[in-house]
Amino acid sequence: MKTIASSAAPDRLYHPALWPLDPKRAHVNHGSFGAVPLPVLAEQQRWRERMEANPTGFFRRELQPALEEARRAACAFLGSDAEDLTFVQNSTAGAGAVLAGFPLAAGDEILVTDHVYGAVLLGARKAAARAGASVVTVPVALGASDEAMVAALASGVTPRTRLAVVDHVASATAQVFPVRRIVASLHALGVAVLVDGAHAPGLLPVDLGALGADFWVGNFHKWPCAPRGSAGLYVAERWRDAVGSFPVSWREQEGFPYSFLQPGTVDSSAWLAVPAALELFGAWGWDEVRERNGALAAHGQRLVAQAVGGDVSGMPGVGEGVGAAGLAMRLVPLPQVPADQAVADSLRDRMADEFGVETVINVWGGYTLLRVSAQLYNDQSDYERLADAVRAVV
């Protein structure tokens, strides 16, 4: 991986003017909510104006053909066949649709790891309770090797395990799971797999055809920088009759993927603007974007670690493994801060209020973890400012 060096060499992928972000703040938490570039916002507004210019014509004649074109662009980006992927509002909504429809019986088990996203875990518990099933959590060490992660998931399987929920990139820990290997391992044990890829699109190369998962969800509003409210849900052919939309769509009788695309009178402009976001980053080159952002995030990680005396050698993305290269979301442990989310939130807010630095601090597994993100609107000065803020409050 390239490293960020102190030099006068221009960074051709540094484009802060394309984002409407407050320049008085350092925005180093792209991973949580994303940020939408001005050209993509303009495309979304163009669709809204078409909708308002002739609502009847738009909803009756224009919307569904336009959604189909946008959906196929998303399929091509993710390596999915045209019949395998639909639009949903976000990854949590997509995972909820899967969990609500997955066939469970009394005594069955849903397997998750301790990296699972909170809202997805709540959805799994709700689905299990409704069926008289249970949720089983297996621990996976922070920074574990690919082999250890595969083994950990396999070790949690029992004769009652029906579904496993596995992160592609975990939200709280930025840990990249070797999902292709995990899917193959769990399929060999007779377990279906839902991959929570909320952070995966754009952050990592994604090839759903090669992945082989039963279900996959991923957000377009994070690393591809599409408008919020845009995500993809992949369902393998054998499961399509089980997964339905809520609310029930006017295209229900057509089945997946079309049954998700006409849920009444809603603003679908975020979905329609997805191709514009993909084209914007595609013109720069996804590999180049990932390499640049990964190097910048690693640089920021080192700066913050030096500021607080944190050891990042065992953190995800440092060393070998599927997440080692080009990961634009990194962790710095804060050993001086108690593993208390209320304390972490207070420090996060203080950095925002007193230093104008927007970041995120998570508590996981006894660690207090500051997560550093990098996107094309960031440069080295953002992480120098972050390091100063962390040094001051910690």
SS (H, E, C) the chain: CCCCCCCCCCCCCCCHHHCCCCCCCEECCHHHHCCCCHHHHHHHHHHHHHHHHCHHHHHHHHHHHHHHHHHHHHHHHHCCCCCCEEEECCHHHHHHHHHHHCCCCCCCEEEEECCCCHHHHHHHHHHHHHHCCEEEEECCCCCCCHHHHHHHHHHCCCCCEEEEEEECECCCCCCECCHHHHHHHHHHCCCEEEEECCCHHHHECCCHHHHCCCEEEEECCCCCCCCCCCEEEEECHHHCCCCCCCCCCCCHHHCCCHHHCCCCCCCCHHHHCHHHHHHHHHHHCHHHHHHHHHHHHHHHHHHHHHHHCCCCCCCCCCCCCCCCCCCCEEEEECCCCCCCHHHHHHHHHHHHHHHCEECEEEEECCEEEEEEECCCCCCHHHHHHHHHHHHHHC
Query: Over the chain, what is the mean pLDDT?
Result: 94
Residue 25 has pLDDT above 80, yes or no: yes
Render pLDDT for 59-79 as a digit per residue (tens, 0 to 9): 999 999 999 999 999 999 999
Taking the C-alpha atoms of residue 213 and residue 199, their distance in angstroms, rounded to an integer, is 16
Bridge-partner residues for 169, per DSSP? 176
Taking the C-alpha atoms of residue 261 and residue 189, their distance in angstroms, rounded to an integer, is 34
Residue 19 has pLDDT above 90, yes or no: yes
Residue 325 has pLDDT above 60, yes or no: no
Give residue 323's identity as a one-letter amino acid code.
G
Q: Which domains does the chain have, with CATH numbers?
A: 16-33+285-393 (3.90.1150.10), 42-278 (3.40.640.10)
User: How large a percentage of the chain has pLDDT more than 90?
Assistant: 91
Bridge-partner residues for 331, per DSSP? 371
Place of tokens 């279900």: 215
The answer to whether 96 and 141 have CB atoms below 8 angstroms apart is no
Residue 1 has pLDDT above 70, yes or no: no
Band of pLDDT at residue 322, cut at 50, 70 and 90: very low
Closest CA to 74 of 180, 224, 246: 224
Bridge-partner residues for 192, per DSSP? 163
Residue 174 has pLDDT above 50, yes or no: yes
pLDDT of 32 reads 96
Render pLDDT for 272-289 as a digit per residue (tens, 0 to 9): 999 999 999 999 999 999
Structure tokens at 366: 């006894």
Residue 319 has pLDDT above 90, yes or no: no
Structure tokens at 218: 């991923």
pLDDT of 267 reads 96
Is the model more confident about 155 or about 10? 155
CA atoms within 13 A on the CB side of 176: 23
Taking the C-alpha atoms of residue 14 and residue 125, their distance in angstroms, rounded to an integer, is 43
Burial 47-67 (b: 16+ CB within 10 A, else e): bbebbeeeeeebbeeebbebb
Bridge-partner residues for 194, per DSSP? 165, 215
Structure tokens at 125: 């518990």
Band of pLDDT at residue 219, cut at 50, 70 and 90: very high
Residue 6 has pLDDT above 50, yes or no: no
**What mean pLDDT comes out for the span 321-347?**
86
User: How large a percentage of the chain has pLDDT more than 70?
Assistant: 96
CA 268 distance to own-chain centroid:
20
Backbone angles phi, psi at 147, to 5 degrees: -60, -40
Taking the C-alpha atoms of residue 285 and residue 262, their distance in angstroms, rounded to an integer, is 33
Render pLDDT for 105-127 as a digit per residue (tens, 0 to 9): 999 999 999 999 999 999 999 99
pLDDT of 9 reads 66
Residue 184 has pLDDT above 50, yes or no: yes
pLDDT of 2 reads 47
Q: Give the CA distances from residue 171 to residues 32, 308, 322, in Å, rounded to whole numbers and listed in that order.
A: 8, 23, 16
pLDDT of 7 reads 46
Place of tokens 């996060």: 348
Taking the C-alpha atoms of residue 51 and residue 276, their distance in angstroms, rounded to an integer, is 18
pLDDT of 317 reads 75
CA 271 distance to own-chain centroid:
16
Band of pLDDT at residue 321, cut at 50, 70 and 90: very low
